[in-house]
Amino acid sequence: VAIVASPTACGGMEEPTASSLRGVAALQFLPRCATLVQYGGGDDMRQGEALLSLPLAASALPPALKGAVAHAVNAALAVAPSAAAAGQFAAEHLPATWQRGDCSWDVALAVVTEPGLGSGWANLYWHGWLFSDPIPRDAAGLYAAQRFPLCGLWEPIGGLGVFGVTAGDVRAAGAGGLRAADQHIHKVVAYAGGDRKGTLKLYMEQGFDRDSAEAAVLSAELDCDQYHVGSDSARVALQPAVPGGAAAWVACVDLGPADVEASDRAAPRAQLTLLVALSGADDSARWFRRWAPAAGDEAPAATARAELAASLGDAGLSDAIVDRVRSALLAT
């Protein structure tokens, strides 16, 4: 059973239920925390199965890790000009400064399957967290949106780690640090030919018969409230087939656009997810598919966390992952 909820904010949000703010359908139900996909461009995207996405208490974030992420923001901003010159185009879009004291911090636990079996890598996506609010608010006029957050991972266990043979790969997420990443959305366009008639003609010119062309256009019309998501950035190495799974803390810091005056820019915000990656065929994945709070999806998040902590030893995770996850779940 997948429980998808908004991470609880450290800034005083009311404690949610286990499913109080699910991922927006228009974003392919991506949860409002980190998840794993494998993006190859265009329609080539494989999404990991979100087995669990559960808000954690603010105190689940270790103070040392919070400090390390804040320090990494400073470091990333200091090297942004040279990073952009070296080909990390997303770094061009970072503001020069940030106000740490204004930053809100969200914390979540996510359990997700490997998106591309045996591929050895995946992209970290935070689209559900970055764009869930503007889509319901601005959907009628929102064709596309883009953010360039700083992304990275800390304290990996098992098969999660830095991507690439060198840390210089521009597609890689930071490892023990943060690197700018492109995370964008754009709306599905129903009429590639300009209008319905023109699109039908376009399909038929490509060899479709009339019925097939009508079916293709109808499918696009039904999807026109959906958004495509991208891109191939924030990569991590991923080998979840290791016994007991893989895990890491992963961080996304949204500083807002660089071309907006600091006085007009929204306050910075950070989302940290304790991410557990599993092979979809593992017994552990099957265990999480079956698990659910006794009171169902509307159980208070704190109740769901306590129940999961009590039963986590049966999930087949490594002792190191169980200890880390249980500690996060029991934080109050």
Q: Given a cut of 70, is residue 188 above it in pLDDT?
A: no
- Euclidean distance between CA atoms 256 and 234, whole angstroms: 17
Q: Parallel, antiparallel, or unpaired for β 269-278 and 104-113?
A: parallel
Give buried/exposed letters for 152-183 (b at 16+ CB in 10 A, else e): bbbbbbbbbebbeeeeeebbbbbbebbbbbbb
Q: Within the chain, what is the greatest distance between any pair of CA atoms?
A: 63
Q: What is the pLDDT of residues 293-320, one digit of tens each?
A: 998 888 999 999 999 999 999 999 999 9
Which position has the higher pLDDT, 186 or 178?
178
38 - beta bridge partners?
46
* Tokens, residue 331: 């934080």
Instruction: Specify whether the CB–CB gap between 324 and 276 falls below 8 A.
Output: no
pTM: 0.84
Instruction: Specify whether the CB–CB gap between 326 and 247 falls below 8 A.
Output: no
Which range has the worst mean pLDDT, 182-191, 219-228, 236-245, 323-332? 219-228
Q: What is the pLDDT of residues 258-279, one digit of tens each?
A: 767 767 778 999 999 999 999 9
Q: What value, to the nearest 5°, has the Cα angle with vertex 181 and ends 321 and 329?
A: 25
Average pLDDT taken over every residue of the chain: 84
Q: Which DSSP state fits 169?
A: -
* Tokens, residue 95: 């503001």
Q: Given a cut of 70, is residue 12 above it in pLDDT?
A: no
Instruction: Specify whether the CB–CB gap between 247 and 160 falls below 8 A.
Output: yes
- Euclidean distance between CA atoms 118 and 129, whole angstroms: 27
- For residue 237, give Cα distances in angstroms to 134, 317, 325: 31, 19, 21
Q: What is the pLDDT of residues 15-67, one digit of tens each?
A: 676 775 467 777 767 899 999 999 887 667 788 999 999 999 999 999 999 99
Q: Decide: helix, strand or coil at residue 249.
A: strand
pLDDT confidence of residue 141: 65
Which range has the worst mean pLDDT, 70-74, 171-175, 225-229, 308-312? 225-229
124, containing H or E segment = strand 121-125
pLDDT confidence of residue 243: 82
Interval 122-135 mean pLDDT? 86
